[in-house]
């Protein structure tokens, strides 16, 4: 049970803390360059059982490196761009862009290492590690920082055309000795993982190791980002605190935790 975007805003951080202390949340993925990362790190150190991973941001977010080191990755506002198709092509074909991408990935791993938190897992904002160049750099650089687990963003009802590519990603992770989940829940219902979605998912879990991920936050006046303007963050927090969800999980008798807890069994 993972919350993404830990560190994006204090509203997210407070929701993660509440959902872990009083609900079913067992892990969170930290954006090390986000505005509220320092607050998230402080909260994480006070939550001994919360498993924290690195949520690498390589699109639509804040970079860790200054512009001088990665000018080809940043838009006119100084943010990592949101045109993932264009950037994906550039990552693949342009050597100087790949070098800058590697710098930013390394900088985010280094920033996570400085937090003093154990690295439970690694994933990427908007699942950008499905891109072969991005995945290759993460596997290479992550090995230097003790990366042992990554999210495989494969949902059981994924379209048929995607399955061969997911199989390729799975094979690359296996060859690199990186453990991963068998499936995720949360892609189709991104931003809408409310109580009903959780109960439906728990009622029909596939076999294997699964990760349910979500984007909880406490209420606020504005959307956390333009891309999240339709997200139901408070409903997602309510689901994590729901006695019905907790009861359904207990009835299943499944093992909970972070990647380190579950995948080491």
Q: What is the pLDDT of residues 176-193, one digit of tens each?
A: 999 999 999 999 999 999
Across 227-231, average pLDDT: 93
Q: What pLDDT is stored for residue 87 in this prediction? A: 95
Degrees, nearest 5: CA angle 247-218-261:
50
Is 153 within 8 Å of 187 (Cβ atoms)?
A: yes
Reply yes or no on whether the pLDDT at 59 is more than 90.
yes
Q: What is the pLDDT of residues 115-154, one digit of tens each?
A: 999 999 999 999 999 999 999 999 999 999 999 999 999 9
Distance CA 72, CA 87 (A): 10
pLDDT interval class at 261 (50, 70, 90): confident
Q: What pLDDT is stored for residue 156 in this prediction? A: 85
Model-level pTM?
0.95
Q: What is the pLDDT of residues 156-180, one digit of tens each?
A: 888 888 999 999 999 999 999 999 9
Determine what percent of the chain is predicted with pLDDT higher than 90. 90
Q: What is the pLDDT of residues 101-118, one digit of tens each?
A: 999 999 999 999 999 999
State the average pLDDT for the chain: 95
Strands of 2-6's sheet, edge to edge?
179-180, 149-150, 122-124, 51-56, 27-30, 2-6, 210-214, 183-185
| Owning domain of residue 58 | 2-262
Q: What pLDDT is stored for residue 264 in this prediction? A: 64
Q: What pLDDT is stored for residue 31 in this prediction? A: 98
pLDDT interval class at 19 (50, 70, 90): very high
Determine what percent of the chain is predicted with pLDDT higher than 70. 99
Reply yes or no on whether the pLDDT at 263 is more than 90.
no
CB atoms within 10 A of CB 192: 17
pLDDT interval class at 34 (50, 70, 90): very high
Indicate the number of domains in the chain: 1
Across 15-28, average pLDDT: 98
Q: What pLDDT is stored for residue 254 in this prediction? A: 87
Q: What is the CATH number of the domain that holds 88?
A: 3.20.20.370
HSE (CB half, 13 Å, CA atoms) of 211?
31
pLDDT interval class at 221 (50, 70, 90): confident
């Amino acid at each position: 049970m993972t919350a993404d975007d830990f560190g994006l805003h204090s509203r997210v951080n407070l929701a993660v803390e509440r959902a872990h202390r009083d609900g079913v949340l067992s892990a969170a993925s930290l954006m090390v360059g986000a505005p509220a990362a320092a607050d998230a790190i402080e909260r994480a150190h006070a939550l001994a059982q919360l498993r924290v991973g690195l949520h690498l941001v390589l699109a639509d977010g804040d970079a860790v490196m200054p512009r001088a080191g990665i000018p080809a990755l940043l838009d006119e506002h100084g943010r990592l761009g949101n045109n993932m198709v264009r950037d994906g092509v550039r990552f693949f074909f342009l050597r100087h862009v790949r070098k800058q991408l590697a710098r930013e990935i390394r900088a985010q791993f280094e920033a996570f290492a400085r937090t003093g938190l154990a690295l439970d897992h690694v994933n990427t904002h908007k699942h950008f590690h499905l891109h072969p160049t991005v995945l290759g750099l993460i596997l290479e650089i992550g090995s230097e920082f003790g990366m042992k687990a990554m999210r495989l963003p494969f949902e059981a009802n994924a379209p048929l055309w995607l399955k061969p590519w997911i199989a390729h990603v799975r094979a690359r992770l296996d060859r690199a000795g990186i453990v991963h989940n068998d499936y995720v829940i949360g892609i189709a219902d991104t931003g809408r993982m409310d109580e009903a979605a959780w109960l439906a998912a728990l009622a029909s879990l596939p076999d294997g190791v699964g990760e349910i991920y979500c984007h909880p936050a406490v209420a606020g006046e504005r959307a956390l980002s333009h891309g999240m303007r339709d997200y139901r963050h408070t409903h997602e927090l309510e689901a994590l605190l729901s006695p019905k969800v907790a009861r359904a999980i207990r009835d299943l008798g499944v093992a909970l935790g972070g990647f380190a807890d579950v995948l080491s069994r």
